[in-house]
Amino acid sequence: MIYIIDHQDSFTWNVVHQFAKFDKVICSNYYEVNNKLLDKSNVIVLSPGQSYCAHADIDDRWHVTLDAEQSYLIDLDNNKNYKLEVDDEVYVMDSGRIHTATNFGFKPRYQLVIRKLLKRNQLQEPTNCTVELIDPPYNVRYLFDKSFSILLNKLEKEGKINNFRRTNNNSIALDIEKDEVQQLIDLEKTCGFKYKIIYGQF
C-alpha cells in the first residue's frame, strides 16, 4: 500500500499514476490526512560528504529523489552505483542487498523514502520465535543489518515469515515456517553476536 496526500494539483495525479505501477495507492485530501499511514514514509536528508554504514533492511523501499547533486545509492553486493536524479520517477529498491547511500555533492540530498509494508503471509506450520540478544556488542545494529536483515527480507518475500516486530531494543519476534527455523539458529555462526531463541505457542 502507498499513501499519497492530494494537494489538489496536477502533480499529485502524476505521482499516483507512477506509484500505481507498484502497489495499491491510497490518496487522501490534504485536510483529511491519515497520520498512521503517513508515519510509514520519510524525507531523508543526507548532508554533503556523508554516507551510511553498509546495511540491509527487512522491508523493500520506494525512492523518489527530490533534490541531489553527485549523490548515489550503492549496491555493495554487486558493486554498482546508481546516481540519484531529480526526474519525477519512482524507483523500487531491493533492500535485502547490502547497500549504502552517499553524497559527494555540495548541497544536501533530499529523498522521499517509503517503506513497503510487510505482507500478511499465511504460514503452513508457523512457529513463534523471539530472538533475544546476549551481551550485545556496541555495533550490534550494524552486525544485525548485515545478517538477520538479509535473511528476513528473503524469507518475507518467499512468504515464510509473518508478524515481524521489534519487542524492545534487544529483541525481535516473528512467526516463521517450522522448516525455516534452522536458518535462524545457523546465523549465530557468522553474525558476530550471541543470542537465544525463545519458542512460543499458538
Q: What are the structural domains of the chain?
A: 2-115 (2.60.120.10), 126-199 (3.30.70.870)
Model confidence pLDDT, tens digit, residues 107-135: 989 898 888 888 899 999 999 999 999 99
Task: Answer yes or no: is pLDDT of 139 > 80.
Answer: yes
Q: How far is the C-alpha of 35 from the C-alpha of 61, rounded, in Å?
A: 19
| Strands annotated E in 30-170 | 41-46, 61-67, 71-75, 80-83, 91-93, 99-103, 109-115, 126-134, 161-168
**CA pair distance 175, 159, nearest whole angstrom:** 11
Q: pLDDT digit string (tens) for 68-86?
A: 999 999 999 999 999 999 9
**SS3 label, residue 4:** strand
Q: Dump pLDDT digits (tens) for 159-178.
A: 999 999 988 889 999 999 99
Task: Give the residue among 62, 118, 63, 58 at the shortest CA–CA distance from 85.
Answer: 63
pLDDT in tens, 24-71: 777 766 556 666 665 666 777 788 888 988 999 999 998 999 999 999
CA distance 19 to 13: 10
Q: What is the mean pLDDT of residues 2-11?
A: 55
